[in-house]
Amino acid sequence: MILDDSGTFRPSSDKHAKNNGGGSSITISKVVSRILGISVGNEVLFRNEEYKGRTEYVPVNILEGYIQEIRQGLAKRVAETATTSSSSSDDATTTMTTTLGQHLAQIPVFSSDLGRNAYQIVNSVDWIMSNIHPFFAYTSAEDAADWAFKNFKTETMQVAAGKPAVLSEIGWPSGPSSASLDSAVPSLENLQTFLNTWVCQANKHNVPYYYFEAFDESWKNSISPRESQWGLLTGDRKLKVTIPTC
């Protein structure tokens, strides 16, 4: 089996497929094994708060339908790998397609959104992915980590119904200071303060999270100055802070 240019699987017997059989299966299996999950949209429910009545508005039931479509698509691919595996006389191809099917069957499907919206889709996702930003809660850098832990517990963990819960976004901007939100002040010093109080605590308590974000994105400056400087590194890949050693 190979991936065609539209990103879908097809049997190597396809007349348009390249004749490299097992090699393609090996490559695909390695790629798929690195997929930790599939996010169907980001902050869709949050944006609905301002998009209601506009074409960008996506009702919860529609989002849940998209999630189900992805899950059904994965199931279809799993079935295809099983068919290819059972019909192949080559042991290597059989092993690789079986492994590929196992990887596909284990990929969780979810949608990342604000923690306060987790309850709306908890029954439709495999993981609960919450974007939690203490900065936008007008919280000081000194109090940001504690605020985030409490928010994650009350708005995400308590509604997760036993499903894995992950902080899909958390971070702090390094500038500009003119973009402050009351006690929440963007600065390098405050970014360092947040890291010092968040990273080791999160590791100690085994809180899974994705830091937002790796690099500054200057293109966002024209949209919102405070959105352009959330990186741990500058746009030219220079580290701005000291990463805590835990």
**Could you report the per-residue pLDDT of 51-88, keeping only the tens digit for each?**
777 777 889 999 999 999 999 998 888 888 776 655 55
Q: Higher confidence at residue 84 or residue 144?
A: 144
Question: pLDDT grade, residue 46 (50/70/90)?
Answer: very high
Instruction: Specify whether the CB–CB gap between 157 and 118 falls below 8 A.
Output: no
Domain range annotation of the chain: 127-246
**Cα angle at 102 between 101 and 106, to 5 degrees?**
115
For 101-138, how does the pLDDT look when each residue is reduced to its tens digit (9 = 90+)? 788 889 999 999 999 999 999 999 999 999 999 999 99
The residue written with tokens 């299966």 in the block is 25
Coil, helix or strand for 44? helix
Whether this prediction's pTM lies above 0.95 is answered by no
142: preceding bond cis by omega (within 30 degrees)? no
If you average pLDDT over residues 163-192, what whole number do you get? 97
Average pLDDT score over residue span 188-216: 98
Q: Rounded to an integer, what distance in angstroms lies between the CA atom of residue 29 and that of residue 32? A: 5
CA-to-CA distance for 64 and 122, rounded, in angstroms? 10
Question: Does residue 1 surpass a pLDDT of 60?
Answer: no
Is there a cis peptide before residue 208, judged by omega within 30 degrees of 0?
no
Beta bridge partners of 9: 3
**CA dist., res. 69 & res. 74, Å (int):** 9
Confidence of residue 92 (pLDDT cuts 50, 70, 90): low
3-state secondary structure of 113: strand
Token pair in block for residue 119: 């309850």
Q: What is the CATH number of domain 127-246?
A: 3.20.20.80
Pick the most confident of 42-46, 51-55, 91-95: 42-46
Please tell me the least confidently modeled range out of 78-92, 139-153, 178-192, 194-208: 78-92
Q: What percent of the chain has pLDDT over 90?
A: 63
Q: What is the pLDDT of residue 195?
A: 99
Compute and round to an integer the Cα radius of gyration of the chain.
Answer: 22
Task: Tell me the C-alpha distance between 196 and 100, whole Å.
Answer: 40
Confidence bin at 139 (pLDDT 50/70/90) = very high
